[in-house]
Structure 1
Amino acid sequence: MTTINVESIKSHADVIASCGTKVGEVDHLQGSDQIKLTKHGDGHHHLIPVSWVGEITDNKIVLTKDSQEVKDTWIQA
């Protein structure tokens, strides 16, 4: 298993689900274990755990969850 360097997660990076769908953009890290996304179409921020991050490339965060699973289980902030 690859270790993710959370310091590589930058604001405004695209967050892409494992299925290839963009699910949001990084607002900032909240603590060392959650990523706060910029406001979604519903007008709310959402939190996702860093443990969902599978890969960080350039300005993209690729998750290990598909978009439906992300939206079903993210936390509204």
Structure 2
Amino acid sequence: MDSYTGFSQHCLVWNLASLHNDTTSNYFHGEHAMIDAKEIKNDMPVITTGAEQFAEVDHLVGPDVIKLKKDASGTHHYIPLSWVISTEGGRVKVNRTLSQVKEDWGADEAACQVTAARH
């Protein structure tokens, strides 16, 4: 998997883990339990490990992908549910810094499924 970077690498692991009912799909960041998708609601703020809000939830796309509301440039971004480490306080907290989020998030929900299907 060394040839994969950023979002594609995380999605591949998370999709493979889902196929095997593995709850350790956060392989790259050491988390061992996934948040139940039912805990994530539309309009919830999404924050980094440093408590910086970078987006709001638009809605869930299937059981494993969160679509974020459009940013200032009018673009939707997508993040895997496997990044979520908490929904306490009505906020979705991810296991990333702001710079990591911006490097790793996807521009469409199909990116993860396409990457997993090819490899």
Bucket of the pairwise TM-score, normalised by the shorter protein = over 0.9
Q: CA RMSD in A?
A: 1.1
Q: Which has the larger radius of gyration?
A: 2
After the TM superposition, list the runs of 4 or more consecutive aligned residues in structure 1 that deviate by more than 4 angstroms.
Answer: none
Higher helix share: 2
Matched, 1:8 2:39: yes
Q: Describe the SS at the equivalent of 2:87.
A: strand
Q: TM-score, normalised by structure 2?
A: 0.61
What's the CA shift for 1:76?
1.3
Q: Which one of 49, 56, 69 corresponds to residue 80 of structure 2?
A: 49
Q: Is the 8 A contact 2:48 2:94 kept in 1?
A: yes
What's the CA shift for 1:20?
1.4
What's the CA shift for 1:58?
3.4
Deviations 1:3-52 (A, max 9, x none): 31110100000000112111100000011111000001121100000000
Q: Is the 8 A contact 2:70 2:77 kept in 1?
A: yes
Give the structure 2 partner of residue 18 of structure 1.
49
Higher relative contact order (CA 8 A, sep 6+): 1
Aligned mates of 1:38, 1:3 — CA distance in 2? 22
- Give the unaligned 5+ runs of structure 2: 1-31, 109-119
What number of residue pairs does the alignment pair up?
77
Q: Describe the SS at the equivalent of 1:75.
A: coil
Aligned mates of 2:59, 2:85 — CA distance in 1? 18
Matched, 1:37 2:68: yes
